[in-house]
């Protein structure tokens, strides 16, 4: 029997001595204060707004008077916003307080919040990621600076341009740890833009309350909430997500102002754990239909089999794969994964370096539980073997192409054009920023990726191309029928994938995570991957032989998700699409070589 006794120790808050308080306030007065303020009114593809620029000007004025070094932009495009964010986050590395203010169109799609640039063009909700700046990007950039305190204020809770495809207003914040985040109205609601030529009701009252001497940030927003609620007859109530530690005052108090806090009483509780007589065992295999045997007991293995604690010998096998044997020590419920490696064939022993032989075969493409464009599920039969790149094409590999060809400048953005590119252009040549040689290349359009395959084909005498969408999913599934090649649960995703939860908003060196069962690395996450196909919004008329869909449309298919995406966009069946001339910080490509 194990007994766990947990108690919360007595917490008591003592009044600070006047001298200590004076020292603390002096530090606050001297600390670095940096703000980024953006107001977007004149949208090209969305409804124009009346007052965001007026609100931004008012915020800039009050923040400058409170000692903030303010970066400021009116009617910023998505690129403007991104460049300003990087400049802002760099300033935050000097410590102190950072404040991000945005007034303009904001949208939430599937629970993720995005701020819209004046030139953003979104015909569909799935284009939002590529046309806007995500709130996750902003908060992670601020957190990574390591400064004392960060504040985000969004007067961006306007109507969702996609109606029922997304929520009205902004979604609740799930990653506010260590930050203070305020919305002009509560999550899921829509804020008033105010009368033309004036200020939005939220920013108007926020600025008034900022000027109150000695008001903590919590008091400022509590008072603002009351003022806005009263002014709108209860129609608008600002929302706050507060997980900061320590104090902050927009307008510092006098050093002799003293506040008190309540003493929190302690509490305690105790529980007793009972150890079960048996435990369940689940072994998830890849490929999914491999045979599992427990060789030192009589009962045959089945998923969820109940066993007493102890040692068990396991054997996992399948024709065409290397058998694995091992021992587990069962002391609690276990759910483990075992990946089998294919036996080396004669053809595969001659595979080009960093490529894997993929044998012809059939699979069920699509999903009935995903998005509408993943339907209907249908059988695809790949008729020919092919080689697929183990890794995504890297900066180092792409620079060789750049220095030995005449690439169209509209197919690539180098470091001087976009700071997310790691490729540096000098007068006569290209190079890679140190440390990023083996990261996947990004900021390359579909046309640029195709140009690379043609150059490599001509250079080697072999046929290289982008995989078709069907070939990509065939490789990603690797013989499985689950959401991911390692199962339906996303709990193990971090072992295989760079994505929103661990990507830290940047690309990562290829091959650092586990491969899929066919030995392919980073098939999910790191960067989206261009495919040959034009995008169509369902599978009713797509080829069943693994070839590409070639009826020209306006978008090209990208697959696999990236370091900026959540788990749902990394599923084997998930699809997305982008303009073929788009150059994006999360899109790269992988090569296929024909036999």
Q: Which residues contact 582 (CB under 8 A, 6 or more apart)?
A: 130, 445, 446
As separate numbers, helices (DSSP H) first and strands (DSSP E) second, the chain gives: 12, 29
- Each residue's pLDDT, cut to its tens digit, for the chain (595 residues) gives 333 333 333 233 333 334 555 667 778 888 999 999 999 999 998 888 988 999 999 999 999 999 999 999 999 999 899 889 989 998 998 999 999 999 999 988 877 889 999 998 887 777 888 889 989 889 888 988 889 999 999 998 655 555 433 445 676 766 667 899 999 887 656 555 556 668 889 999 999 999 998 899 999 999 999 999 999 888 888 988 888 888 899 998 875 543 433 333 344 555 555 556 788 888 878 776 789 999 999 889 988 899 999 999 999 998 888 899 999 998 888 878 787 877 754 444 467 899 999 999 999 999 998 999 999 999 999 999 999 999 999 999 999 999 988 777 678 888 777 778 899 998 889 999 999 999 999 999 999 999 999 999 999 999 999 999 999 999 999 999 999 999 999 999 999 999 989 988 889 999 999 999 999 999 999 999 999 999 999 999 999 999 999 988 889 999 999 998 989 999 999 999 998 998 998 999 999 999 9
Tokens at 321, concatenated: 């794969």
Nearest to 211 by CA among 172, 168, 253: 253
8 Å CB contact between 147 and 105: no
Residue 458 to residue 460: CA distance in whole angstroms: 6
Mapped onto helix, strand or coil, the DSSP state of residue 240 is: strand
Residue 335 to residue 213: CA distance in whole angstroms: 57
Crossing angle, helix 52-65 and helix 201-210, to 10 degrees? 10
* Confidence at residue 257, expressed as pLDDT on a 0 to 100 scale: 46
Alpha helices in 300-394 (DSSP H): 346-349
Residue 168 to residue 129: CA distance in whole angstroms: 17
8 Å CB contact between 314 and 292: yes
Residue 29 to residue 242: CA distance in whole angstroms: 22
Full strand arrangement of the beta sheet holding 106-109: 106-109, 112-116, 132-134
Say how many C-beta atoms besides its own lie within 10 A of residue 266's C-beta: 10
Mapped onto helix, strand or coil, the DSSP state of residue 363 is: strand
8 Å CB contact between 430 and 419: no
- Between CA 174 and CA 483, with CA 115 as vertex, the angle to 5 degrees is 55
* Confidence at residue 211, expressed as pLDDT on a 0 to 100 scale: 94
* Confidence at residue 498, expressed as pLDDT on a 0 to 100 scale: 96
Is-above-0.75 flag for pTM?
A: no
* Confidence at residue 137, expressed as pLDDT on a 0 to 100 scale: 84
- Between CA 140 and CA 147, with CA 141 as vertex, the angle to 5 degrees is 100
CA 220 to chain centre: 32
* Confidence at residue 130, expressed as pLDDT on a 0 to 100 scale: 86
What does the longest C-alpha to C-alpha distance in the chain come to? Answer: 83
């Amino acid at each position: 029997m194990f007994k766990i006794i947990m108690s919360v120790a007595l917490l008591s808050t003592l009044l600070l001595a006047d001298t200590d308080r004076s020292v603390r306030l002096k530090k606050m007065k001297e600390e670095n204060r940096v703000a980024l303020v953006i107001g977007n009114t004149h949208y090209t593809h969305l409804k124009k707004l009346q007052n965001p620029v007026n609100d931004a000007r008012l915020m800039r004025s009050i923040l400058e008077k409170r000692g903030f070094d303010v970066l400021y932009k009116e009617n910023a495009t998505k690129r403007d916003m991104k460049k300003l964010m990087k400049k802002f986050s760099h300033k935050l590395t000097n410590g102190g307080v950072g404040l991000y203010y945005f007034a303009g169109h904001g949208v939430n799609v599937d629970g993720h919040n995005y701020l819209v640039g004046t030139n953003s063009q979104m015909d569909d909700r799935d284009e939002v990621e590529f046309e806007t700046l995500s709130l996750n990007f902003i908060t992670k950039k601020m957190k990574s600076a390591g400064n004392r305190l960060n504040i985000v204020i969004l007067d961006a809770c306007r109507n969702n341009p996609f109606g029922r495809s997304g929520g009205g207003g902004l979604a609740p914040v799930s990653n506010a740890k260590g930050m203070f985040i305020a919305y002009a109205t509560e999550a899921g609601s829509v804020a008033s833009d105010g009368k033309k030529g004036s200020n939005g009701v939220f920013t108007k009252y926020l600025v008034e309350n900022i000027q109150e001497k000695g008001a903590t940030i919590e008091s400022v927003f509590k008072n603002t909430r009351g003022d806005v609620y009263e002014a709108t007859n209860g129609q608008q109530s600002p929302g706050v997500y507060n997980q900061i530690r320590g104090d902050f005052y927009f307008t510092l108090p006098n050093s002799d102002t003293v506040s008190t806090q309540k003493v929190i009483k302690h509490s305690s509780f105790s529980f007793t754990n009972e150890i079960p007589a048996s435990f369940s065992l689940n072994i998830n295999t890849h490929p999914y239909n491999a045979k599992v045997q427990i060789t030192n007991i009589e009962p045959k293995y089945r998923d969820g089999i109940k066993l007493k604690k102890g040692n068990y010998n396991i054997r996992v096998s399948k024709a065409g794969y290397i058998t694995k044997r091992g021992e587990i020590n069962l002391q609690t419920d276990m759910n483990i994964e075992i990946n089998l490696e294919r036996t080396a064939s004669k053809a595969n022993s001659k595979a080009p370096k960093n490529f894997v032989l993929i044998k012809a075969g059939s699979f069920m493409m699509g999903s009935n539980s995903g998005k509408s464009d993943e339907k209907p599920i249908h059988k695809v039969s790949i008729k020919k073997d092919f080689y697929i790149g183990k890794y995504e094409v890297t900066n180092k590999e792409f620079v060789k192409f750049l220095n030995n060809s005449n690439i169209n400048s509209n197919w690539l953005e180098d470091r001087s054009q976009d700071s997310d590119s790691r490729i540096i252009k000098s007068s006569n040549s290209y190079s890679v920023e140190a440390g990023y040689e083996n990261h996947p290349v990004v900021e390359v359009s579909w046309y640029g990726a195709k140009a690379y395959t043609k150059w490599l084909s001509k250079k080697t005498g072999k046929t290289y191309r982008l995989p078709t969408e069907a070939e990509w999913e065939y490789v990603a599934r690797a013989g499985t029928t689950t959401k991911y090649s390692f199962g339906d649960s996303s709990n193990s995703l971090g072992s295989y994938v760079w994505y929103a939860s661990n990507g830290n908003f940047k690309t990562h060196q290829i091959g650092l995570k586990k491969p899929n069962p066919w030995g392919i690395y980073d098939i999910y996450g790191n960067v989206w991957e261009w495919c040959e196909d034009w995008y169509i919004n369902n599978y009713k008329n797509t080829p069943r032989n693994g070839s590409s869909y070639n009826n020209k449309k306006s978008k090209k298919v990208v697959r696999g998700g990236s370091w900026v995406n959540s788990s749902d966009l990394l599923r084997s069946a998930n699809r997305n699409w982008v303009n073929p001339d788009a150059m994006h910080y999360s899109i790269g490509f992988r090569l296929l070589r024909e036999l």
